[in-house]
Amino acid sequence: MSELSVFDVFEYLPGINCKNCGENNCMAFAEKLLKGQKTLDGCAPLREDIYKKRKEQLMAMLKV
């Protein structure tokens, strides 16, 4: 199994760079998620219904 890359994670984040998570953009948040320095809860938009599928996918990928 190949290792998860930051791009794999980034692909499923909302991609709106709203900075709500405290990072400058979704890519930076993706990096911290991978390093275990942030959790999915840090991204408020992910809690919205329109991102439900993406969140489920991320939870599966990150095994949380």
User: By the criterion CB under 6 A, which residues form the site for ligand SF4?
Assistant: 13-14, 16-21, 23, 25-26, 29, 43-45
Give the angle subtended at the CA of 28 by the CAs of 36 and 8, to the nearest 5°: 75
Question: Two tokens at 4?
Answer: 């998860």
Handedness of CA 25, 56, 59, 39 (dihedral sign): positive
Minimum CB separation of residue 9 from ligand SF4 in Å reads 10
Minimum CB separation of residue 19 from ligand SF4 in Å reads 5
Question: Two tokens at 55?
Answer: 């969140």
Minimum CB separation of residue 53 from ligand SF4 in Å reads 15
For ligand SF4, the closer CB: 1 or 50:
50
